[in-house]
Amino acid sequence: MIDIKVIRENAQLVKENIKKKFQEEKLSLVDEVRELDEKARKLQQEIDALRAKRNRFSDEIGLLFKDKKIEEANLKKQEVVEINQQLLEMEEEEARVKEEIKKRMLLIPNIIDDSVPIGRDDSENVEIERFGEPVVPNYEIPYHADICEALGGLDKESAGRTSGNGFYYLVGDIARLHEATLAYARDFMIDKGFTYCIPPFMIRSDVVEGVMSFAEMDAMMYKIEGEDLYLIGTSEHSMIGKFKGQLIDEKELPVAMTSYSPCFRKEVGSHGLEERGLYRVHQFEKQEMVVLCKPSDAMEWYNKMWSYTVEFFRSLDVSVRTLECCSGDLADLKVKSCDVEAWSPRQQKYFEVGSCSTLGDAQARRLGIRMKTENGNQFLSTLNNTVIASPRSLIAIIESGYQSDGSVVIPKVLQPYMGGLEVIKPKQK
Protein backbone atom coordinates (compact mmCIF):
# COMPACT_ATOMS: atom_id res chain seq x y z
CA MET A 1 0.00 0.00 0.00
CA ILE A 2 1.46 3.31 -1.06
CA ASP A 3 1.38 6.54 0.94
CA ILE A 4 -1.86 8.41 0.23
CA LYS A 5 0.23 11.60 0.05
CA VAL A 6 1.61 10.30 -3.26
CA ILE A 7 -1.92 10.18 -4.67
CA ARG A 8 -2.70 13.64 -3.28
CA GLU A 9 0.46 15.22 -4.67
CA ASN A 10 1.26 13.16 -7.78
CA ALA A 11 -1.75 11.20 -8.98
CA GLN A 12 -0.30 11.08 -12.49
CA LEU A 13 2.76 9.16 -11.23
CA VAL A 14 0.46 6.56 -9.68
CA LYS A 15 -1.56 6.26 -12.89
CA GLU A 16 1.58 5.88 -15.02
CA ASN A 17 2.76 3.15 -12.66
CA ILE A 18 -0.57 1.34 -13.07
CA LYS A 19 -0.17 1.54 -16.84
CA LYS A 20 3.36 0.11 -16.61
CA LYS A 21 1.84 -2.90 -14.84
CA PHE A 22 -0.86 -3.21 -17.53
CA GLN A 23 -3.66 -2.85 -14.98
CA GLU A 24 -5.64 -0.11 -16.72
CA GLU A 25 -8.83 -1.33 -15.01
CA LYS A 26 -7.41 0.15 -11.79
CA LEU A 27 -6.88 3.68 -13.13
CA SER A 28 -10.28 4.83 -11.88
CA LEU A 29 -9.27 3.87 -8.32
CA VAL A 30 -6.84 6.79 -8.18
CA ASP A 31 -9.54 9.41 -8.84
CA GLU A 32 -11.94 7.62 -6.51
CA VAL A 33 -9.35 7.72 -3.72
CA ARG A 34 -8.71 11.43 -4.33
CA GLU A 35 -12.43 12.23 -4.13
CA LEU A 36 -12.96 10.11 -1.03
CA ASP A 37 -9.85 11.57 0.59
CA GLU A 38 -11.13 15.11 0.02
CA LYS A 39 -14.46 14.10 1.54
CA ALA A 40 -12.74 12.50 4.54
CA ARG A 41 -10.59 15.57 5.16
CA LYS A 42 -13.61 17.88 4.88
CA LEU A 43 -15.49 15.69 7.34
CA GLN A 44 -12.52 15.80 9.68
CA GLN A 45 -12.50 19.62 9.56
CA GLU A 46 -16.23 19.74 10.31
CA ILE A 47 -15.83 17.24 13.14
CA ASP A 48 -12.97 19.24 14.63
CA ALA A 49 -15.05 22.43 14.43
CA LEU A 50 -18.02 20.76 16.12
CA ARG A 51 -15.82 19.35 18.88
CA ALA A 52 -14.36 22.79 19.50
CA LYS A 53 -17.89 24.25 19.63
CA ARG A 54 -19.00 21.54 22.08
CA ASN A 55 -16.01 22.22 24.31
CA ARG A 56 -16.74 25.95 24.24
CA PHE A 57 -20.39 25.35 25.12
CA SER A 58 -19.40 23.01 27.95
CA ASP A 59 -17.22 25.76 29.45
CA GLU A 60 -20.06 28.28 29.05
CA ILE A 61 -22.58 25.94 30.71
CA GLY A 62 -20.39 25.76 33.80
CA LEU A 63 -20.23 29.55 34.02
CA LEU A 64 -24.01 29.91 33.45
CA PHE A 65 -24.80 27.50 36.27
CA LYS A 66 -22.32 29.34 38.45
CA ASP A 67 -24.17 32.60 37.70
CA LYS A 68 -27.54 30.88 38.42
CA LYS A 69 -28.65 31.29 34.79
CA ILE A 70 -30.30 27.86 34.85
CA GLU A 71 -32.65 28.25 31.87
CA GLU A 72 -29.90 29.53 29.58
CA ALA A 73 -27.57 26.76 30.80
CA ASN A 74 -30.18 24.08 30.02
CA LEU A 75 -30.64 25.47 26.51
CA LYS A 76 -26.88 25.19 25.99
CA LYS A 77 -26.97 21.64 27.34
CA GLN A 78 -29.63 20.75 24.77
CA GLU A 79 -27.43 22.21 22.03
CA VAL A 80 -24.54 20.00 23.29
CA VAL A 81 -26.82 16.95 23.04
CA GLU A 82 -27.62 17.88 19.44
CA ILE A 83 -23.93 18.43 18.67
CA ASN A 84 -23.10 15.01 20.12
CA GLN A 85 -25.70 13.42 17.84
CA GLN A 86 -24.25 15.28 14.85
CA LEU A 87 -20.75 14.16 15.82
CA LEU A 88 -21.86 10.55 16.12
CA GLU A 89 -23.37 10.60 12.63
CA MET A 90 -20.38 12.40 11.11
CA GLU A 91 -17.84 10.12 12.80
CA GLU A 92 -19.69 7.08 11.46
CA GLU A 93 -19.64 8.63 7.98
CA GLU A 94 -15.95 9.44 8.32
CA ALA A 95 -15.19 5.85 9.34
CA ARG A 96 -17.19 4.55 6.37
CA VAL A 97 -15.35 6.85 3.94
CA LYS A 98 -11.95 5.87 5.36
CA GLU A 99 -12.84 2.19 4.96
CA GLU A 100 -13.75 2.85 1.31
CA ILE A 101 -10.39 4.59 0.85
CA LYS A 102 -8.56 1.63 2.41
CA LYS A 103 -10.35 -0.89 0.16
CA ARG A 104 -9.17 0.98 -2.90
CA MET A 105 -5.68 1.70 -1.59
CA LEU A 106 -5.13 -2.02 -1.04
CA LEU A 107 -5.78 -2.59 -4.74
CA ILE A 108 -3.46 0.12 -6.08
CA PRO A 109 -0.03 -1.38 -6.89
CA ASN A 110 3.17 -0.20 -5.27
CA ILE A 111 5.42 2.17 -7.25
CA ILE A 112 7.95 0.00 -9.08
CA ASP A 113 11.64 0.84 -9.29
CA ASP A 114 12.81 2.71 -12.40
CA SER A 115 15.12 -0.19 -13.27
CA VAL A 116 12.26 -2.70 -13.67
CA PRO A 117 11.82 -3.74 -17.33
CA ILE A 118 8.36 -3.07 -18.78
CA GLY A 119 6.50 -6.18 -19.90
CA ARG A 120 3.07 -7.80 -19.66
CA ASP A 121 3.89 -11.15 -18.09
CA ASP A 122 6.67 -13.60 -17.19
CA SER A 123 7.35 -14.30 -20.88
CA GLU A 124 8.92 -10.84 -20.99
CA ASN A 125 11.20 -11.26 -17.98
CA VAL A 126 14.83 -10.45 -18.74
CA GLU A 127 17.84 -12.67 -18.14
CA ILE A 128 20.53 -10.87 -16.15
CA GLU A 129 23.42 -13.29 -15.69
CA ARG A 130 24.35 -16.99 -15.76
CA PHE A 131 26.46 -18.70 -13.15
CA GLY A 132 28.07 -22.03 -13.99
CA GLU A 133 28.09 -23.92 -17.28
CA PRO A 134 24.66 -25.37 -18.23
CA VAL A 135 25.92 -28.89 -18.99
CA VAL A 136 23.97 -31.48 -21.01
CA PRO A 137 25.42 -35.00 -20.55
CA ASN A 138 25.76 -37.45 -23.43
CA TYR A 139 23.25 -39.82 -21.84
CA GLU A 140 19.52 -39.50 -21.26
CA ILE A 141 18.28 -38.13 -17.94
CA PRO A 142 14.89 -39.54 -16.92
CA TYR A 143 12.05 -37.49 -15.46
CA HIS A 144 12.90 -36.53 -11.86
CA ALA A 145 9.96 -38.46 -10.39
CA ASP A 146 11.12 -41.59 -12.24
CA ILE A 147 14.67 -41.11 -10.91
CA CYS A 148 13.35 -40.81 -7.34
CA GLU A 149 11.17 -43.90 -7.73
CA ALA A 150 14.11 -45.91 -9.13
CA LEU A 151 16.10 -44.85 -6.07
CA GLY A 152 13.26 -45.99 -3.80
CA GLY A 153 12.68 -42.42 -2.70
CA LEU A 154 9.23 -41.35 -3.92
CA ASP A 155 5.73 -42.72 -3.39
CA LYS A 156 3.02 -40.55 -4.94
CA GLU A 157 0.56 -43.40 -5.31
CA SER A 158 0.19 -43.83 -1.55
CA ALA A 159 0.00 -40.03 -1.10
CA GLY A 160 -2.85 -40.01 -3.60
CA ARG A 161 -4.74 -42.44 -1.38
CA THR A 162 -4.12 -40.47 1.81
CA SER A 163 -4.25 -36.88 0.56
CA GLY A 164 -5.00 -36.66 -3.17
CA ASN A 165 -3.12 -35.05 -6.05
CA GLY A 166 -0.26 -32.66 -5.29
CA PHE A 167 1.08 -34.63 -2.29
CA TYR A 168 3.91 -37.14 -1.94
CA TYR A 169 5.89 -39.42 0.33
CA LEU A 170 9.67 -39.00 0.27
CA VAL A 171 11.43 -42.15 1.44
CA GLY A 172 14.91 -43.33 2.42
CA ASP A 173 17.98 -41.56 1.05
CA ILE A 174 15.89 -39.16 -1.08
CA ALA A 175 14.01 -38.03 2.04
CA ARG A 176 17.34 -37.72 3.80
CA LEU A 177 18.79 -35.67 0.92
CA HIS A 178 15.75 -33.39 1.10
CA GLU A 179 16.33 -32.73 4.81
CA ALA A 180 20.11 -32.48 4.37
CA THR A 181 19.61 -29.66 1.88
CA LEU A 182 17.38 -27.78 4.30
CA ALA A 183 19.85 -28.24 7.16
CA TYR A 184 22.70 -27.02 4.97
CA ALA A 185 20.62 -24.01 3.88
CA ARG A 186 20.01 -23.17 7.53
CA ASP A 187 23.71 -23.30 8.38
CA PHE A 188 24.67 -21.46 5.18
CA MET A 189 22.47 -18.50 6.16
CA ILE A 190 23.56 -18.54 9.80
CA ASP A 191 27.15 -18.25 8.53
CA LYS A 192 26.03 -15.17 6.58
CA GLY A 193 24.98 -13.55 9.85
CA PHE A 194 21.24 -14.22 9.69
CA THR A 195 19.34 -15.19 12.85
CA TYR A 196 17.64 -18.57 12.57
CA CYS A 197 13.93 -18.69 13.34
CA ILE A 198 11.05 -21.18 13.18
CA PRO A 199 7.79 -19.19 12.96
CA PRO A 200 4.11 -20.09 13.44
CA PHE A 201 2.75 -22.02 10.48
CA MET A 202 -0.67 -20.35 10.71
CA ILE A 203 -1.46 -16.63 10.72
CA ARG A 204 -4.52 -14.44 11.20
CA SER A 205 -6.30 -12.62 8.38
CA ASP A 206 -4.98 -9.18 9.42
CA VAL A 207 -1.43 -10.45 8.92
CA VAL A 208 -2.36 -12.01 5.57
CA GLU A 209 -3.78 -8.65 4.47
CA GLY A 210 -0.56 -7.01 5.59
CA VAL A 211 1.84 -9.15 3.56
CA MET A 212 0.07 -9.84 0.26
CA SER A 213 -2.69 -8.83 -2.12
CA PHE A 214 -6.20 -10.30 -2.04
CA ALA A 215 -5.67 -11.92 -5.44
CA GLU A 216 -2.56 -13.71 -4.18
CA MET A 217 -4.36 -14.80 -1.02
CA ASP A 218 -7.30 -16.32 -2.91
CA ALA A 219 -5.00 -18.14 -5.33
CA MET A 220 -2.57 -19.42 -2.71
CA MET A 221 -3.78 -19.83 0.84
CA TYR A 222 -5.74 -22.50 2.66
CA LYS A 223 -8.13 -21.18 5.32
CA ILE A 224 -8.81 -23.07 8.55
CA GLU A 225 -12.56 -23.57 8.64
CA GLY A 226 -14.33 -21.84 11.51
CA GLU A 227 -11.23 -19.92 12.65
CA ASP A 228 -9.48 -16.71 11.72
CA LEU A 229 -6.37 -18.62 10.66
CA TYR A 230 -4.64 -19.39 7.37
CA LEU A 231 -1.90 -21.92 6.62
CA ILE A 232 1.19 -20.01 5.47
CA GLY A 233 2.32 -20.19 1.86
CA THR A 234 5.81 -19.05 2.87
CA SER A 235 7.45 -18.25 6.20
CA GLU A 236 7.91 -14.66 5.06
CA HIS A 237 4.26 -14.13 6.04
CA SER A 238 4.85 -15.08 9.66
CA MET A 239 8.26 -13.46 9.83
CA ILE A 240 7.06 -10.01 8.71
CA GLY A 241 3.94 -10.41 10.84
CA LYS A 242 6.21 -10.89 13.87
CA PHE A 243 6.81 -7.12 13.85
CA LYS A 244 3.18 -6.03 13.37
CA GLY A 245 2.53 -2.75 15.17
CA GLN A 246 6.10 -2.50 16.44
CA LEU A 247 8.39 0.52 16.69
CA ILE A 248 12.02 -0.46 16.09
CA ASP A 249 14.93 1.82 16.92
CA GLU A 250 16.86 2.44 13.69
CA LYS A 251 20.05 1.57 15.60
CA GLU A 252 18.72 -2.03 15.75
CA LEU A 253 18.41 -2.20 11.97
CA PRO A 254 18.93 -4.15 9.85
CA VAL A 255 17.05 -7.15 11.19
CA ALA A 256 18.21 -10.14 9.12
CA MET A 257 16.53 -13.49 9.73
CA THR A 258 16.45 -16.87 8.05
CA SER A 259 13.42 -19.01 8.70
CA TYR A 260 12.37 -22.59 8.17
CA SER A 261 8.78 -23.67 7.63
CA PRO A 262 6.53 -26.08 5.83
CA CYS A 263 4.46 -24.22 3.24
CA PHE A 264 0.96 -24.91 1.93
CA ARG A 265 -0.40 -23.65 -1.39
CA LYS A 266 -3.51 -24.33 -3.43
CA GLU A 267 -1.56 -24.13 -6.73
CA VAL A 268 -4.77 -23.60 -8.68
CA GLY A 269 -4.60 -24.16 -12.44
CA SER A 270 -3.73 -26.77 -15.03
CA HIS A 271 -0.49 -28.65 -14.53
CA GLY A 272 1.47 -29.89 -17.50
CA LEU A 273 3.54 -33.04 -17.82
CA GLU A 274 6.62 -31.37 -16.34
CA GLU A 275 4.67 -30.55 -13.18
CA ARG A 276 3.19 -33.98 -12.45
CA GLY A 277 6.10 -34.92 -10.16
CA LEU A 278 7.49 -32.71 -7.39
CA TYR A 279 7.66 -29.40 -9.22
CA ARG A 280 4.27 -27.96 -8.24
CA VAL A 281 2.81 -29.42 -5.06
CA HIS A 282 0.45 -28.39 -2.27
CA GLN A 283 2.97 -28.96 0.52
CA PHE A 284 6.68 -28.25 0.60
CA GLU A 285 9.43 -26.98 2.89
CA LYS A 286 11.35 -23.77 2.62
CA GLN A 287 14.32 -21.85 3.98
CA GLU A 288 13.68 -18.14 3.63
CA MET A 289 15.55 -14.86 4.13
CA VAL A 290 13.71 -11.85 5.56
CA VAL A 291 15.26 -8.41 6.12
CA LEU A 292 13.89 -5.24 7.73
CA CYS A 293 16.06 -2.22 7.05
CA LYS A 294 16.21 1.52 6.47
CA PRO A 295 14.78 2.45 3.04
CA SER A 296 18.16 3.84 2.00
CA ASP A 297 19.73 0.39 2.51
CA ALA A 298 17.04 -1.67 0.75
CA MET A 299 18.64 -1.97 -2.68
CA GLU A 300 22.00 -2.96 -1.22
CA TRP A 301 20.28 -5.73 0.75
CA TYR A 302 18.28 -6.80 -2.31
CA ASN A 303 21.45 -7.40 -4.33
CA LYS A 304 23.14 -9.11 -1.41
CA MET A 305 20.20 -11.47 -0.83
CA TRP A 306 19.76 -12.82 -4.35
CA SER A 307 23.54 -13.28 -4.60
CA TYR A 308 23.40 -15.55 -1.52
CA THR A 309 20.94 -17.83 -3.31
CA VAL A 310 23.20 -17.97 -6.34
CA GLU A 311 26.18 -18.77 -4.11
CA PHE A 312 24.17 -21.45 -2.31
CA PHE A 313 23.22 -23.31 -5.50
CA ARG A 314 26.69 -23.01 -6.98
CA SER A 315 28.03 -24.68 -3.81
CA LEU A 316 25.73 -27.59 -4.73
CA ASP A 317 27.27 -27.72 -8.24
CA VAL A 318 23.97 -26.53 -9.73
CA SER A 319 24.18 -24.02 -12.59
CA VAL A 320 21.79 -21.08 -12.24
CA ARG A 321 20.78 -17.81 -13.82
CA THR A 322 19.08 -14.67 -12.54
CA LEU A 323 16.01 -13.33 -14.26
CA GLU A 324 14.69 -9.78 -13.77
CA CYS A 325 10.90 -9.79 -13.33
CA CYS A 326 9.15 -7.36 -15.66
CA SER A 327 6.49 -4.89 -14.51
CA GLY A 328 3.53 -7.09 -15.41
CA ASP A 329 4.97 -10.08 -13.54
CA LEU A 330 5.48 -8.17 -10.28
CA ALA A 331 2.98 -8.76 -7.48
CA ASP A 332 1.29 -5.52 -6.47
CA LEU A 333 3.30 -4.97 -3.28
CA LYS A 334 6.70 -5.42 -4.94
CA VAL A 335 9.06 -2.63 -5.95
CA LYS A 336 11.56 -4.91 -7.71
CA SER A 337 12.02 -8.67 -7.96
CA CYS A 338 14.25 -11.26 -9.59
CA ASP A 339 14.05 -15.03 -9.87
CA VAL A 340 16.91 -17.47 -9.48
CA GLU A 341 16.49 -20.35 -11.92
CA ALA A 342 18.34 -23.67 -11.90
CA TRP A 343 19.51 -25.46 -15.01
CA SER A 344 17.61 -28.65 -15.90
CA PRO A 345 19.92 -30.86 -17.97
CA ARG A 346 16.95 -33.10 -18.77
CA GLN A 347 14.74 -30.33 -20.15
CA GLN A 348 17.75 -28.30 -21.30
CA LYS A 349 16.27 -25.13 -19.88
CA TYR A 350 16.13 -23.24 -16.59
CA PHE A 351 13.35 -23.44 -14.01
CA GLU A 352 12.57 -21.27 -11.01
CA VAL A 353 14.00 -22.27 -7.64
CA GLY A 354 13.86 -18.95 -5.78
CA SER A 355 12.63 -15.39 -5.85
CA CYS A 356 14.03 -12.22 -4.26
CA SER A 357 11.90 -9.11 -3.69
CA THR A 358 12.09 -5.67 -2.17
CA LEU A 359 8.70 -4.28 -1.20
CA GLY A 360 9.61 -0.77 -0.09
CA ASP A 361 7.45 0.23 2.86
CA ALA A 362 4.27 -1.44 1.52
CA GLN A 363 4.15 -4.29 4.05
CA ALA A 364 5.40 -2.04 6.86
CA ARG A 365 2.66 0.49 6.09
CA ARG A 366 -0.05 -2.19 6.08
CA LEU A 367 1.19 -3.77 9.31
CA GLY A 368 2.19 -0.58 11.11
CA ILE A 369 5.90 -1.41 11.40
CA ARG A 370 7.95 1.74 12.00
CA MET A 371 11.48 2.70 12.83
CA LYS A 372 12.34 5.32 15.43
CA THR A 373 14.70 7.95 14.02
CA GLU A 374 16.05 11.33 15.08
CA ASN A 375 13.57 12.87 12.63
CA GLY A 376 10.56 11.01 14.04
CA ASN A 377 8.93 7.65 13.40
CA GLN A 378 9.03 6.37 9.81
CA PHE A 379 8.02 3.25 7.94
CA LEU A 380 10.92 0.91 7.17
CA SER A 381 11.57 -1.37 4.19
CA THR A 382 11.01 -5.12 4.03
CA LEU A 383 12.65 -7.69 1.75
CA ASN A 384 12.37 -11.43 1.30
CA ASN A 385 14.21 -14.08 -0.66
CA THR A 386 14.12 -17.83 -1.06
CA VAL A 387 17.21 -19.73 0.00
CA ILE A 388 15.61 -22.98 -1.14
CA ALA A 389 12.14 -24.39 -1.60
CA SER A 390 12.24 -28.17 -1.48
CA PRO A 391 11.41 -30.50 -3.17
CA ARG A 392 11.89 -28.13 -6.12
CA SER A 393 15.54 -27.66 -5.17
CA LEU A 394 15.75 -31.43 -4.82
CA ILE A 395 14.92 -31.76 -8.53
CA ALA A 396 17.87 -29.51 -9.43
CA ILE A 397 20.27 -31.52 -7.25
CA ILE A 398 19.06 -34.87 -8.54
CA GLU A 399 19.22 -33.92 -12.23
CA SER A 400 22.62 -32.23 -11.88
CA GLY A 401 24.04 -35.22 -10.03
CA TYR A 402 22.45 -37.95 -12.17
CA GLN A 403 24.87 -40.51 -13.60
CA SER A 404 24.58 -42.84 -16.59
CA ASP A 405 24.20 -45.89 -14.29
CA GLY A 406 21.10 -44.39 -12.65
CA SER A 407 22.85 -43.25 -9.47
CA VAL A 408 22.90 -39.70 -8.11
CA VAL A 409 26.08 -38.08 -6.79
CA ILE A 410 25.51 -36.12 -3.60
CA PRO A 411 27.14 -32.65 -3.59
CA LYS A 412 30.20 -32.56 -1.32
CA VAL A 413 28.72 -29.88 0.95
CA LEU A 414 25.74 -32.15 1.69
CA GLN A 415 27.67 -35.33 2.37
CA PRO A 416 28.36 -34.50 6.06
CA TYR A 417 24.57 -34.10 6.51
CA MET A 418 24.12 -37.55 4.91
CA GLY A 419 26.44 -39.38 7.27
CA GLY A 420 29.24 -39.31 4.69
CA LEU A 421 27.14 -40.90 1.94
CA GLU A 422 28.52 -39.89 -1.47
CA VAL A 423 26.17 -41.59 -3.95
CA ILE A 424 22.55 -42.72 -3.91
CA LYS A 425 22.27 -45.92 -5.95
CA PRO A 426 19.20 -47.48 -7.59
CA LYS A 427 17.40 -50.11 -5.58
CA GLN A 428 17.97 -53.67 -6.79
CA LYS A 429 14.80 -55.25 -8.19
What is the structure's pLDDT at 270?
Answer: 47
> Which band of pLDDT confidence, cut at 50, 70 and 90, is reported for residue 273?
very low
Is the predicted pLDDT of residue 361 greater than 90, yes or no? yes
94-103, 262-271, 325-334, 384-393, range with the lowest pLDDT: 262-271
> Which band of pLDDT confidence, cut at 50, 70 and 90, is reported for residue 271?
low
205-219, 222-236, 393-407, range with the lowest pLDDT: 205-219
Q: Which pLDDT tens digit goes with each residue over 145-185?
A: 999 999 999 999 999 899 988 899 999 999 999 999 999 99
Please report how many Cα atoms fall inside a 13 Å half-sphere around the Cα of residue 281, on the Cβ side.
Answer: 25
What is the structure's pLDDT at 9?
Answer: 95
Section 222-248 average pLDDT: 95
What is the structure's pLDDT at 212?
Answer: 85
| Contact (CB, 8 A) for 189 and 183 | no
Is the predicted pLDDT of residue 119 greater than 70, yes or no? yes
What is the structure's pLDDT at 275?
Answer: 56
> Which band of pLDDT confidence, cut at 50, 70 and 90, is reported for residue 301?
very high
Q: How far apart are CA 123 and CA 364, in angstroms?
A: 30
Percent of the chain past pLDDT 90, that is, above it, reads 83
| Contact (CB, 8 A) for 195 and 222 | no
Protein fold of 4-105: Helix Hairpins (1.10.287)
Domain ranges of the chain: 4-105, 122-424
Q: Which one of 1.10.760.10, 3.30.930.10, 3.40.50.720, 3.40.50.12280 gives the CATH number of domain 122-424?
A: 3.30.930.10
| Contact (CB, 8 A) for 326 and 118 | yes
The overall average pLDDT reported for the chain is 93
| Contact (CB, 8 A) for 287 and 394 | no
